[in-house]
Chains A and B, each alone.
Chain A
Amino acid sequence: MKKFLALMLVVAMGLAMFGCGSKKEQTDMEYVKDKGTLVVGITDFAPMDYKDENGNWIGFDADMATAFAQKLGVAVEFVEIDWDNKIMELDGKTVDCIWNGMTLTAEVTSAMDCSNAYCNNAQVVIVSKDKADQYQTIDSLKDLTFAVEAGSAGEEQVNALGLKSTPVKSQADALMEVAAGTSDAAVIDSLMAAAMVGEGTGYENLTYTIGLNSEEYGVGFRKGSDLVAEINQFFADSMADGTMKTCAEKYKVQAALCEQ
């Protein structure tokens, strides 16, 4: 019986350890300042977040995030996450914000508190180059099977139009499906399409045709975070003093920038 009691004690202690986590109520900003780092959840997504030759994260979003952390007086830490798990990462406090060219979809805005939009974007249809002429209108898309990223804005659009689609793991996988001929077409972000499709890219035989909608990029924080007001102020300030524009020009996304 002694052994059994000992075991039960161990279990009880283990549970108690978890329980100790809930300290006094702290705002999100205090929490971030307390630990001294702003952990930014990203994916490898040029031109927003990507690595330079030395392995440092650069890109329009990465540079802006670094500047924002500087303003808060904390260090910035970039963590590559699985995009499917972004809301879990945020709520589970393994990251403090999602700053990675995130489209402000209904799903995103209902699960996170988001900043004002800072970039415009559209969802575009990707088809192989030799068939591009046939698919310049929404009506012409009816017979195609689409590959779309699960949970993406592209999937929302395709479903809204009642088109046949296969959800895949990422926008890159969607492109791969079209290149491999396993799907006829894909729907991805225009910023990504501009960077990844056509002459001089890995997908020279693909091209993009029509845009399905226009949408906006924002930064996501935990529900109720006071960092949202802070970042909106930061965007307004850096728009006013031109640093945001300079940064956007560096990564060639200035055309998509939103007024703050």
Chain B
Amino acid sequence: MDLFIEQLPVVLEALNIGFIQTLKLFFVTLLGAFPLGLIIAFGSMSNFKPLSYLTKFIVWIVRGTPLMIQLLIIYYFPGLVFHNPIWGGGEGGRFAAAAVSFIINYACYFSEIYRGGIQGIPVGQEEAGLVLGLTKTQIFFKVKLLQMIKKIVPAMSNEIITLVKDTSLARIIALQEIIWAGQAFMKGSQGISGAIWPLFFCAIYYLIWNGVLTVLLGKLEKKLDFFR
């Protein structure tokens, strides 16, 4: 017990540093994937067939392959094949590569959710807009967007909570997120080795953060409860 009390601050400090990486990746992914997902959704709904097919093809590849493979390819491919390590070896480069992989991956999932939200809006509204002389852009931003946001909140909440846990995949390219930090104490770090309890603390960090998100997203859903 004494040993545990002595080790706890050391472990928590390491986990905090790891958790900040986790959170950084989480927020950067959301910031990038929200708008990129919308662009991809427009692409796949485009009336211009080649663009629509190309987008659907890309979405198929990204959703059809594991994120772990995408991380490995995006990080190692430029250096291995073109001998041009665009990411660099440092922590920043690993984070950038992870962020790019996550943004592309999540944008593809988001795009399908957006598409469902947009296409679920009755055609009558668009027709009414056109009759009133609104352009397509105006119809989207003034009529459809808010309704779409309201519709997709439950589906997006699901993805967002999955994203929190998926960030742990970035350890495959040695991004030192919280599980990396926790697992370091299994193999020995800062004089602590063979300890599995730091991993339980990792789990608690995830639980608390996902609890916070669940409450916030629930509130958002309530707030958007107007129009029926």
Enumerate chain A interface residues (CB-CB to B < 8 A): 3-4, 7, 18-22, 39, 41, 44-46, 50-51, 53, 77, 79-82, 85, 88-89, 91-96, 170-173, 175-176, 179, 195-196, 201-203
Contacts and interface: CB of A to CB of B under 8 A. Distances in A.
B194 interface: yes
A176 B194 contact: yes
B90 interface: yes
A91 B80 contact: yes
B220 interface: no
Contact of A171 (B48, B93, B187, B189): B187
Contacts of B93: 94
A85 to B, nearest CB: 7
A93 B193 contact: no
Interface stretch (B25-33, B143-151, B153-161, B170-178): B170-178
Given A46-B188, A51-B189, A176-B186, A94 B85 contact: yes
Contacts of A51: 189-190
Nearest to B192: A202
Nearest to B172: A82
Nearest to A81: B174
Given A3-B51, A201-B193, A85 B174 contact: yes
A77 B48 CA distance: 50
Contacts of A44: 184, 187-189
Size band of the B side of the interface?
35 or more
Given A82-B174, A88-B76, A195-B188, A19 B83 contact: no
Interface string B69-84: 0001001101110111
A80 B90 CA distance: 9
B88 interface: yes
B207 interface: no
Given A7-B51, A201-B194, A94 B83 contact: no
Given A3-B51, A94-B89, A82 B173 contact: yes
A65 to B, nearest CB: 14
Interface string B42-75: 0000001011001000000000000000001001
Given A91-B80, A170-B187, 7 more contacts: A19-B82, A41-B89, A51-B190, A91-B79, A94-B85, A172-B188, A201-B193
Contacts of A96: 89
B196 interface: yes
A18 B48 CA distance: 29
Contacts of B196: 176
Contacts of B54: 7
A93 B85 contact: yes
A176 B186 CA distance: 8
Contacts of B176: 80
B198 to A, nearest CB: 11
B84 A18 contact: yes
B87 interface: yes
Nearest to B171: A82
